[in-house]
Amino acid sequence: MSMTTRNLGSRPRIGCPGCPSGSLLAVAVLTLALVCAGETVGATQSAAAAFTAFNRANTLVQLMEGRAGVIGADRALDLVFTAYWSSPLDRKQGAATIRAHAVVTNGFLAIELTYTYDHGPVYEDPHVTRLAFGGPADAGGEDATVWRTDKESIVFSRQRNEDLRDLMRYKVRPDNSIAAQHASSALERGRIGNRELIHLFDNFLLAMGRMPDSYVTRFTEVAAPSADGLEAVEAVGTAGGSGVGEWSLRVDPKLGYLVRAASFTYAGEQRPLIRAINSGYVACEGLVLAASGGWGLLGARPVFQLLDLRNLPRSDQRVASFVSRIVGRVSRGGHFTLDERGPTLKFVHPK
């Protein structure tokens, strides 16, 4: 289907000393109490209704979680986007541009990520690096080891949670020349339902105005639309972890409650942990996403751009071929495996 892009108990007694029962004052106070109670109930109902509409429009997440909703269990959402990402802990190595192709069907997500880098690996004194992370103060001077990911294939469902990474290990001399390089692959198996392996996709959802279900649990306040048509919303939720806090959102009810700006603050804190903002929109039947967006967290500021969005039949050959290829790659496994599904981390040695 075509894609549309735009930029852009008891009741207390009421009375007063010396006033006869049923006095005008008592009636006035009772009337005021009922009006205030009505406003509170109305506001609560309004917030609840807005939250229901917000969730109903979050069709991408519904489909991914196995709740087909308005999209339908026989459909698939096909997305292509880029993410420009630099690590605040490793700035010398530069930023990576990640091209992502994702297919979401009923209760299933398959993703392929391809990485390109701003420049080649850069030497960092292993002595200094180890000290920064609490390691031993060994003598410096040896070649530095730099790991880079070339490609990732991810399968996430109610039965599987696996990530296969194609890796390159570089030995870098102090003059930044490459002394050696070695290719390998690693398969990581996560616990079913744990979203750590799909963090990039969740980050994409946050930036593009559609949050995972666990992020927002209820709306507490919804203001009338401002001059720009956006509604200010206060909500309770998390930032993907266990800590609870408050979300301040600006949503567009005309675009299916698309979140245009968001900030999250942990309970008891004053400064937001996360801020996100986006612009434009891309639409296919049953779904609207922002065209581009980004967010900031602890120095990381990834920027996303949506390149393509399609609503296709689940039986479409393009969908079937992509899913088959990703599942096949993951199923073949890697040179070594990290298995996090048990009580302890299991490492399977290289093939």
CA distance 195 to 200: 10
221-277 pLDDT, tens digit per residue, is: 999 999 999 999 999 999 877 789 999 999 999 999 999 999 999 999 999 999 999
pLDDT number for residue 32: 37
156-170 pLDDT, tens digit per residue, is: 999 999 999 999 999
Task: Write down the H helix ranges in the chain.
Answer: 24-56, 59-64, 126-132, 199-207, 317-332
Q: Which has the higher per-residue pLDDT, 40 or 46?
A: 46
Q: Which has the higher per-residue pLDDT, 348 or 108?
A: 108
Residue 202 lies in a domain: yes
208 contacts 304 by C-beta, under 8 angstroms: yes
Cα-only R_g, the chain: 26
Q: How confident is the model at residue 297 (pLDDT cuts 50, 70, 90)?
A: confident
Residue 294 lies in a domain: yes
Please give the average per-residue pLDDT across 64-68, as a whole number: 85
pLDDT number for residue 88: 59
Residue 320 lies in a domain: yes
198 contacts 154 by C-beta, under 8 angstroms: yes
Question: Hey, how many other C-beta atoms are within 10 angstroms of the C-beta on 154?
Answer: 26
Residue 303 lies in a domain: yes
Q: How confident is the model at residue 23 (pLDDT cuts 50, 70, 90)?
A: very low
Q: What is the CATH number of the domain that holds 223?
A: 2.50.20
Please give the average per-residue pLDDT across 61-73, as a whole number: 86
Give the pair of three-digit tokens for residue 132. 């920064």
Residue 40 lies in a domain: no
Please give the average per-residue pLDDT across 120-131, as a whole number: 72
Residue 186 lies in a domain: yes
Question: Hey, how many other C-beta atoms are within 10 angstroms of the C-beta on 211?
Answer: 25
Instruction: Provide the pairing of β-strand 4-6 with 281-284.
Output: antiparallel
Global confidence as pTM: 0.81
Residue 118 lies in a domain: yes
3-state secondary structure of 30: helix
- What contacts 128, CB < 8 A, 6 or more positions away? 140
Burial of 300: CB neighbours in 10 Å, binned 0-12, 13-18, 19+: middle
pLDDT number for residue 43: 54
**How many domains is the chain built from?**
1
279-293 pLDDT, tens digit per residue, is: 999 999 999 999 999
Give the pair of three-digit tokens for residue 275. 């801020």
| Least confident window among 40-44, 199-203, 273-277 | 40-44
Cα 252 off chain centre by: 19
Q: How confident is the model at residue 45 (pLDDT cuts 50, 70, 90)?
A: low
3-state secondary structure of 294: strand
69-109 pLDDT, tens digit per residue, is: 778 889 999 999 999 987 655 678 888 999 999 999 999 99
pLDDT number for residue 74: 94
pLDDT number for residue 213: 80
Residue 235 lies in a domain: yes
- Confidence check: pLDDT of 319 > 80: yes
Question: Hey, how many other C-beta atoms are within 10 angstroms of the C-beta on 153?
Answer: 23
Cα 105 off chain centre by: 18
Domain that residue 189 falls in? 59-348
pLDDT number for residue 349: 65
Closest CA to 323 of 101, 81, 11: 101
Show contacts of 115-120: CB within 8 Å, 24+ apart: 115/148, 115/149, 115/150, 115/151, 115/152, 117/93, 117/148, 118/94, 119/94, 120/176, 120/178
